[in-house]
Each structure stands twice: as structure tokens, then as C-alpha cells.
DNA sequence: GTGGTCTAGACCACA
DNA sequence: GTGGTCTAGACCACT
């Protein structure tokens, strides 16, 4: 099920949105392990970099957390709620980060 | 007491530095037996692989020596000095190699 | 083509020896890029860790050098000679250390 | 459920027999993974060496096979049958092995 | 899409 | 009961 590239928006945002959808739909349950980076690459037909950008944003926004050497997991709801209220703050940081490169 | 002390992004480098510190501070004296790999795992909250990577480097740099079936020991200072000098020589060669690309 | 060729009970030593052989035979020429870690895994039927252990030793002994994100390459001969001499010196020191127990 | 030590026979033989029993009873099914060495130590209250001696004999007699880094597994029945017919031959080899030490 | 680091946990060789 | 080797597979840093 590759994501489409019709309009001008970034590919990684589509991957990100697709994953958020699956989390909200309960497809990926709290504390459950998500597919690996490689599996997301296959699943959406995108590069590793694209997947990582999406997962990085989801991590910063509190949807997921990652454990080195173990995997990627869905954050517990409580944490998710707290964090989403500060997404605006986060977005600024992300933007700034982009500027620093 | 997990490591968070220093620079050196890699975990095994933090473990390595922590152990060097303890040796230099005289916490672990020459010829004394060090904790086992498992104990270092507990102490620093890392996997055995990470501990072994640190101990392997310490062995190569002459800080410690290991005897299968017996344990890990602090090297006598004299030997340590001889070897660390050699290691620097090493590092330069490798660095030069990289520069030549 | 799994390794079964030589002595040296450890698997990573057999992989290492096999690669040295190929370098000395001119199969892998100086400055040429070697197969990736994954390819060595397939070729010799071993895990990535085993391949990495072999490549790590070859790096220390100056046969090859590695560039993150790029690949593994055969070292120029001159550099190789300098380093292998150093390594022998090393080995003696370590061996002597063991004898002192 | 520690094994008893009443009579003079070796402890490892009791462990061995206990495991054979569990295989024949279908407790451990063909191709199933057996408990680890450490678990057998706990289970029977014996040392690692004892467990290893038992597992080593079971391997040679074709009841089980071991994969380094993976675990110990029950051999398929067919293989077991073929091998048990040559157990006598095996026993000689084991005896000879003991002599060589 | 490479090499680098890390996890978790197995069996092996030796003392 | 230590250190040594190996497996399988994850995420990370860089090109």
C-alpha cells in the first residue's frame, strides 16, 4: 500500500499521517511494538530516510518512543495526550532545528 | 548507577571512561580483579555486548588483561604505559589513512 | 560457499583468513571496495556480528579501512606493512603479560 | 524437582535420563526448543558442567541437536531412530574420548 | 544504503 | 562460573 505523491507536500508527512491514523484506529495499540524501519520502507515504498523523518517527528510529538536495539513502540495514551497539547511548542523547535542545518 | 557522566556519545565509551577513571583513581588497583561482565552490565545498565566492547578496548590499550575462566584484572602500570604509547602510534596511522582519501 | 577451509576454531577467524587470502591473491585489490557486511554474511553463512569481528581485526591489522556510509576498502600495501609490524609488537606485550600470571 | 544422588551412578546420567524421559513422553516435542543450560541447572539443582555432560551425550546419541547462539532442540524422530541403532558404536567413541584426556 | 551501536540471550572453552 | 563466540535483529550516524 504505497503512499501517493500527487500534491506538493512532503512524502514523510504522508507516512507520518498514515501511522498516526493506524495508532488512532487502534491498529497499533499502546505499548505495542511497531513494524521496523525496514518494514515501513517496504510497506510504503519509500526510502529509509523518509521513514526515519516520520518516526522522528512522531517521537517528538509523543506518539511513539524508540528503544535502541529493541524497537519502536506506541506511547501510552496519557503521555500522548499531555504531549499533543504542546505540539505547537514542539513544532517551533522542529522548525528551528531545520534552520540550524 | 547508570552512566550519564561524560561526552563520547557511544555508550561503550562512557563505560570505558568510567572504568579508566576508577583505575586512575586507584579504586581498582594494579593486579586486582575487576567486577565480572555481568556485574558491569548491572552497574551501568547496559548489555553485555556494550560492556565487552569497552573491556575489549581497555585490553587493547593495556589498562586491563583478561583470563578466560578466571576474570578481568588491572594491568601493572609499566605495561600500560608501553602499550598506550603504541596505541597512539596506531591511531595516527589510521587517521593518516583516512586523510588520504 | 560457507567457510570450512582452515584451522582457527573460531568462525570469525575463518572469515578473516578467507578475506586475507582474497586480498593477498589480488582478488580484492588495494583501494578497491570490499563486499558489504550483509554480503559477507550471505557468502559465509554467518551473522553480522561474526563478520564485523573479522573486519574489525582486519582494520586493526591494517588490511582494510572502513568509511561509515560508504563502505569497506582494501588498504594500500605500505600502510599495511607499517601497522602489522606494530601489531606483532602488541601481541608480544600482551602475551608476556599473560606469562607473568 | 532436583535429581537424587542416592546410589553411586553419575549425576549427569540422571539428568540425561530425565531429559530422555521427557522427550519420549512427548513433553519435549521434535524440533521444539529445550530449556537453556542455565534453566536445566536450576531445574535439577546441578552444576553447569553436569548439565553440559548430559546434553553432550544426548547430542552424540542423536536425541537433540544444538545451534550455537540459538539453543538446544529435540531431533526429529527419524534421525533419532537411525542414530540410536548405532549407539553402541558411539559409546565406544565416548569411552575413547575419556581415555584421551 | 553503508557501517556503527545496542539489545537479549543462546552455547562454548576453560579453570 | 568466568570470559569467548555466535545468533538475530533492532535503531543510529553518515553519505
Query: By the CB < 8 Å criterion, does B94 face chain C?
Result: yes
Which grid coordinates belong to D80?
A: 533419532
Helix%, strand%, coil% for chain D, nearest 5: 55, 10, 35
CA of B30 to C1' of F9 (A): 39
DSSP β-ladder status, B64-67 and B71-74: antiparallel
Q: Is the pLDDT confidence value at B72 over 60?
A: yes
Q: What are phi and psi of C67, to 5 degrees?
A: -125, 120
Mean pLDDT of D75-89: 53
Mean pLDDT of D67-73: 92
Query: By the CB < 8 Å criterion, does C52 face chain B?
Result: no
Residues contacting C20, CB < 8 A, separation 6+ = C58, C63
Look up cell 572502513; give the residue. Answer: C66
CA B22 to CA B61: how far, in whole Å?
16
Domain covering B11-99 assigned CATH 3.10.620.30 in the classification: no
DSSP β-ladder status, A64-67 and A71-74: antiparallel
For an interface test with B, which of C89, C97, C99, C100 has the most B Cβ atoms less than 10 Å from its Cβ? C97
CA B31 to CA B28: how far, in whole Å?
9
Encode pLDDT of C44-78 as tens digits: 999 999 999 999 999 988 899 999 999 999 998 64
The reply to whether B32 has its C-beta less than 7 Å from any atom of strand F is no
Flag if B65 and C90 touch (Cβ within 8 Å).
no
Encode pLDDT of D11-55 as tens digits: 899 999 999 999 988 889 889 999 999 999 988 988 888 999 999
Domain limits of chain D?
11-100
Query: By the CB < 8 Å criterion, does C65 face chain B?
Result: yes
Query: Partners for B (CB, 8 Å, 3+ pairs)?
Result: C
CA of D100 to C1' of F9 (A): 41
Flag if C98 and B65 touch (Cβ within 8 Å).
yes
CA A9 to CA B51: how far, in whole Å?
45
CA D46 to CA D42: how far, in whole Å?
7
The string of DSSP codes covering B42-92 is HHHT--HHHHHHHHHHHHHTTSEEEETTTEEEEPPHHHHHHHHHHHHHHHH
pLDDT category, A19, cuts 50, 70, 90?
Answer: very high
Flag if C82 and B94 touch (Cβ within 8 Å).
no
* pTM for the full predicted model: 0.72
Nearest-CA distance from B74 to chain C in Å?
11
Look up cell 551425550; give the residue. Answer: D57
Q: Are B17 and B58 in contact (CB under 8 A)?
A: no
The reply to whether B9 has its C-beta less than 7 Å from any atom of strand F is yes
Helix (H, G, I), strand (E, B) or coil at A67: strand
Q: Which fold, D11-100? A: Arc Repressor Mutant, subunit A (1.10.10)
Amino acid at each position: 500500500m504505497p503512499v501517493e505523491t500527487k500534491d506538493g507536500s512532503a512524502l514523510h508527512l504522508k507516512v507520518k499521517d498514515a501511522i498516526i491514523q493506524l495508532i488512532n484506529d487502534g491498529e497499533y495499540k499502546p505499548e505495542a511494538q511497531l513494524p521496523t524501519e525496514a518494514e515501513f520502507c517496504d510497506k510504503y515504498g519509500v526510502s529509509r530516510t523518509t521513514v526515519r523523518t516520520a518516526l522522528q517527528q512522531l517521537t517528538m510529538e509523543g506518539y511513539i518512543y524508540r528503544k535502541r536495539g529493541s524497537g519502536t513502540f506506541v506511547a501510552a495514551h496519557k503521555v500522548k495526550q499531555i504531549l499533543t497539547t504542546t505540539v505547537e511548542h514542539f513544532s517551533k523547535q522542529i522548525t528551528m532545528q531545520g534552520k540550524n542545518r
